[in-house]
Amino acid sequence: MLEISIIPALTDNYIYLLHEPDSGLTAVVDPAAAAPVMAASQRCGFGLNYIFNTHHHSDHIGANLELKAATGCKIVGAKADRSRIPGIDIALGDGDRIALGAEELVAMDTPGHTVGHIVYYSAGSSALFCGDTLFSLGCGRLFEGSAEQMWHSLQKLKTLPAETKVYCAHEYTEANARFALTLEPGNPLLQQRYADVCQRRRSNAPTLPSTIGQELATNPFFREHSPEIRQNLALAEASPLAVFTAIRKLKDGFR
């Protein structure tokens, strides 16, 4: 079972420190900055063996080369985005696996936010490290990919076990919840989740991880089937992809 620590960075990024206690091996997911990673690893008494990158944006790979120079760690990233991951040593495609001691993580291609985005799923630890593909109550903007690509990527994640913990890369949950309530205000689980999120943020506590089960019940990007959402969008008979595309366009303009 992985020991997972949340490291806040920049204004709203989360970096994840993964430690496998039997082997003593440690990885970091999407290091935006080196200093908080080094401080956390030193505080815990860990070295650093791997960097797992989900995509090439600077707030996810910004510390790659500094951490590699300091620790000799290996950098893991998407085969499809090899040319944009600084210092990459191990390139993974859809379904490829990498071991962190006794724990195995599988890479899943999830284009949409970027064309070369991947996520890492650990069945043994019931954990998903999903970068900017899936957010708590949201999903990533379509900077490079299409709505259809993102929709198909999210369909993969919807099939994971409901208890899977969702470790995304940003603290966007409160704003995402406010948007979700404009589409599905009658969802009692969403109402309760918003109240819980606001309480956490008032004490500056992370709203993560969520779970796949929570996202299925409350995340509008997982709920194209909702009659209330469809009615509010005047898309009662539209395809799931058309509903998803409309939700994504609305979210782009939401403030």
Which position has the token pair 């650093």?
48
Contact 12, 171 (CB under 8 A): yes
Distance (Å, rounded) from C-alpha 249 to C-alpha 77?
29
19 is in an annotated binding site: no
Catalytic: 55? yes
Catalytic: 113? yes
Catalytic: 117? no
Two tokens at 208? 């993560």
Q: Is 24 left (phi over 0), alpha (psi -120 to 50) or beta?
A: left
Catalytic: 152? no
Query: What is the 3-class SS of 111-147, one letter each residue?
Result: CCCCCCCEEEEECCCCEEEEECCEECCEECCCCCCCH
60 is in an annotated binding site: yes
Q: Which of 19, 30, 56, 59 is catalytic?
A: 59
Catalytic: 30? no
Distance (Å, rounded) from C-alpha 238 to C-alpha 151?
15
Cβ neighbours around 22 below 10 Å, total: 9
Q: Which of 19, 30, 55, 109 is catalytic?
A: 55
56 is in an annotated binding site: no
57 is in an annotated binding site: yes
170 is in an annotated binding site: yes
55 is in an annotated binding site: yes
Q: Is the bond preceding residue 36 a cis peptide, omega within 30 degrees?
A: no
Q: Which of 30, 81, 109, 132 is catalytic?
A: 132
Burial 60-76 (b: 16+ CB within 10 A, else e): bbbbbebbbeebebbbb
59 is in an annotated binding site: yes
Q: Which of 30, 56, 81, 113 is catalytic?
A: 113
Catalytic: 170? yes
Give me the residues paired with residue 29 across strands: 16, 52
Q: Which of 60, 81, 109, 117 is catalytic?
A: 60
Distance (Å, rounded) from C-alpha 4 to C-alpha 6?
7
CA angle 219, 221, 227 (to 5 degrees): 85
Q: Which of 19, 56, 57, 117 is catalytic?
A: 57
Q: Which of 19, 56, 117, 170 is catalytic?
A: 170
Query: Binding site for Zn(2+): residue ranges?
Result: 55, 57, 59-60, 113, 132, 170
User: Which residues have a catalytic role annotated?
Assistant: 55, 57, 59-60, 113, 132, 170
